[in-house]
Amino acid sequence: MSLAATAPYGFLSPTGVEIAFLLVGLVTLGAALITVTTRQLVHAALWLVVTLGGLAVEYLLLTAEFIAWVQVLIYVGSVVVLLLFGLMLTRAPIGHSPDADSGNRPAALVVAVGSAGALVWVVTDAFRATWIDLDGPAAGTTGVTGESLFRHWVLPFEALSVLLLAALVGAIVLSRKAKAEQAAGTPSLAKAPGDKEGAR
């Protein structure tokens, strides 16, 4: 007999962990919405920190401590820092950024709602009758997570690292291009007053 059939769990009698999970999820969802709707790039990166931190708390509530700390160390501590580093290298504006609005908000909204609906349907269909046994053996330990990561998820993990490296190299290339353009434009600006004086 399965755990779902014997355990007296239900949506009408949530436990304290389930209530905390729901509240943290709402905060994380709100931070994610602000991340994708704000027009200030730096504010979007900072709200992304709140979103990823909320996901780390959700992992802690699911008794996956190792995954939670990996979330904090890699995503909050590395990915967001890389984004801010790229923004500084490309000299992106700190305040309102008109260039960040491409005018494709309706299409982006349709894609986002469709993707969110598909993700919710897949997760709900896969784990509809599955309950986490908080008193059972830990499923988020280092050994279990490492075995799953290096057995099934090596290729996506490496692809993500290559993507982050490409983003960093792209930011450096853009910053060097901007500096080269400024260096090429500086002499012409310096010669302009002299040319006027010589003409006089």
DSSP for 94-142, written as a single string: SS--GGG--S-HHHHHHHHHHHHHHHHHHHHHHSTT----TTS--SSSH
Average pLDDT over residues 172-178: 72
Residue 123 pLDDT > 80: yes
pTM of the model: 0.58
- Find the mean pLDDT for residues 145-149: 75
Residue 172: how many CA atoms within 13 Å on its side-chain side?
Answer: 7
Distance CA(124)–CA(121), nearest Å, equals 5
Confidence of residue 28 (pLDDT cuts 50, 70, 90): very high
Read off the pLDDT band of 74 (50, 70, 90). Answer: confident
* Angle made by CA atoms 62, 32, 55, in degrees to the nearest 5: 15
pLDDT of residue 137: 62
CATH for 3-103+139-152 is 1.20.120.1200
- Domain limits of the chain? 3-103+139-152
Single-letter residue type at 41? L
Which pLDDT does position 53 carry in this prediction? 92
